[in-house]
Structure 1
Amino acid sequence: MGKGGEDQEGVMAGDFFWSYTDEPHASRRRQILSKYPQIKDLFGPDPSSFFKISVIVFLQLGTAALLHDAGWLKILLVAYFFGSFLNHNLFLAIHELSHNLAFSTPSFNKWLGIFANLPIGVPMSVTFQKYHLEHHRFQGVDGMDMDVPTLTEASFYSSSFMPSGLSLLSQSPLVAGNSSTSLFR
């Protein structure tokens, strides 16, 4: 589906190319399950996630404690070459928790998401879940799916003075600090 939910192949509007084919998650899921039905055994909550997430959180906090007297250069190097991998792991964990994939009880997943969010420094777990689930419900629907950029965002990030890669750096603060993932909605 795409802009407005019409059912056609796609159209080049004045702004973006809007594709009206089947949303990719559902068709890809059907394709994979028909070829590998044993994957269904991996579906559902995995309580061992709690232990894995706890190890990463305590590794992050422990590293911070060990570096409390270190110089800025050492802190930056450890953050870049070690902490970034742990942080990325926690972002992925928060994504999985937004789908309630650690526990059967949604509130337990929410609390574990808040715990996983502690070392990240920007509170975003609860807000991410809200907008990420909306993204799945309204995938590709203009004005509803937060992954579809507005015209202002598209022109801002594609202009010659603003490399599009910088948009990646702004995503976490936007998810955490606004009622939407966009500065321009």
Structure 2
Amino acid sequence: MRFGDDEALLERVLRVYKPHCRYLGSATVTVKGDPADEGGQVRVRGRFHIPESCYIDDTGHFNAVEFNICYNQMIYLLIAKSVDGRLMRSFDGWSMDDFWARQLEDMFIADFHSSFRRPMRGRRFWGELDVVEAFQGDWGNGPFLFLRTTCRFGETEEAAAHGKVLVAVKAAAGAAGFSAPAP
């Protein structure tokens, strides 16, 4: 199943960013099963434009800060689309109002690894993020939904930067769930 660019949803998702930091310009979402099931995957592929760095003089290359911002914009959009389109069981019971209320407070990166295989200018490029596993866990401070993800960014067909990121989402009271091993 493939979902084309949803400009209205993307605009709303990016409202939490300062206007000069809204790098994700368009995106499509593809579903190949539920990430809660072995082999299931939900993917977002986006087009990015970074006219200038939001925090430092021009470094001349795509760097870890920009990687993280672009990653965040894709995961927020992917979760919003998953709630809106009922793409992952993990978000059953969520409304879009739940997503908007929880976007910043209840979603965060638990573990982050990035690697840069070759230089990339990083002004106009693509990015892909896959949710490859979804499971519940408890780190001693309540239940969380964890999304194990992989991502990559590139200017040419071949990716120049790769990452593996574990996202934690605070479980909502009464949210649908399933059991799986903790991270």
TM superposition score category, shorter chain reference: under 0.3
Compare the two structures and name the one with the higher strand fraction: 2
Compare the two structures and name the one with the higher helix fraction: 1
State the TM-score, normalizing by the size of structure 1.
0.26
Of structures 1 and 2, the one with the larger relative CO (CA 8 A, separation 6+) is 2
State the TM-score, normalizing by the size of structure 2.
0.26
